[in-house]
Amino acid sequence: MPCWPPLCRLGGGSIEVLEIPSDEELAAECASRTGTVYVRNTQRSYKIDTQQLEQHIRAARDLLGYSNWDVSLWLTTDKTVRKLNSQYRGKDKSTDILSFSYNELQCSYRLLHGGSHSTKLQVETPGKLAKVRHPEEMDLGEMMVSLAYVDRVIQQDKAEQDGQSQEEEHDRGVSGAMSRVFTVQERLPLLCIHGLLHLVGYDHETDEDYEVMVAREEELLRALKLEPSASAS
């Protein structure tokens, strides 16, 4: 949470007046910063090339137009994802990925006059976040993935694959791409595309929203050359 500096502070027995950055200075700092991608891996059941995964996430984030924003991925356990899903989504079950956008959170800011103000950062349209004023606000949020859940779905997809004909139509977007690759490492970049789109305001609650989100997923899959070939299935 950004914390504005006080107007003055005591230093060595004297009062030091601090300069408050102007809007122009803050805008320049926002435009010039370099965003970070942080991948945290606290599970021990699956060996993951986190450096490769970080590169995939960075490339997808940059294509979405947020190269100077931070984003995090946490590779964790079924138990942790289920707990978070229950606590924050009201669903007492595990899932493959959760995306917690900083633009969904109610933020409190300390204002110069000492009061407090609550605001909710908004998504203007899918893919376009509302403009932020301070560099510390430039954080897309965090994705959490249960690798055990991803692996279970892979095993189910493998079992179902034998009963599918080559002509049978696959799902579209990331879901369809994932149904044609069968290792956790291969599925993670695809899953993170889906998670990143949630972080920047895409959703699939309605048919219209689904069509918009799937179309963007397919654009990113093509641009990043992550579309599995038909022979992969």
- CB–CB of 78/87 below 8 Å? no
Q: In terms of pLDDT, which residue wins out, 6 or 147?
A: 147
Tell me, what's the pLDDT at 168?
53
d(CA 107, CA 87): 19
- CB–CB of 23/58 below 8 Å? no
Chain segment 83-139, per-residue pLDDT in tens: 999 998 899 999 999 999 875 654 433 333 344 444 445 677 899 988 888 898 899
Tell me, what's the pLDDT at 200?
93
Tell me, what's the pLDDT at 172?
87
Mean pLDDT over residues 1-24, rounded?
Answer: 61
What phi and psi, each to the nearest 5 degrees, are found at residue 76?
A: -140, -160
Q: In this model, does residue 67 exceed pLDDT 60?
A: yes
pLDDT bin (cut points 50, 70, 90) of residue 188 is very high
Q: What number of residues does the chain have? A: 233
d(CA 197, CA 203): 8
Q: In this model, does residue 17 exceed pLDDT 70?
A: no
Tell me, what's the pLDDT at 114?
43
Tell me, what's the pLDDT at 107?
41
Q: In terms of pLDDT, which residue wins out, 46 or 88?
A: 46
Tell me the one-letter amino acid at 44: R
Domain ranges of the chain: 19-160+171-227
Please give the structure tokens belonging to residue 75.
């590779």
List CB contacts of 78: < 8 A, sequence separation 6 or more: 94, 146, 148, 149
Mean pLDDT over residues 33-53, rounded?
Answer: 96
Q: In terms of pLDDT, which residue wins out, 117 or 152?
A: 152
What long-range pairs does 78-82 form, CB within 8 A, spacing at least 24?
78/146, 78/148, 78/149, 80/144, 80/146, 81/144, 81/145, 81/146, 81/149, 82/146
pLDDT bin (cut points 50, 70, 90) of residue 189 is very high
CA-based torsion, 32, 225, 96, 129: positive or negative = positive
| Topology adopted by domain 19-160+171-227 | Collagenase (Catalytic Domain) (3.40.390)
Q: In terms of pLDDT, which residue wins out, 113 or 182?
A: 182
| Ordered alpha helix ranges (H), 64-206 | 78-89, 147-161, 173-178, 184-199
Of 76, 73, 30, 42, residue with least CA distance to 55: 73
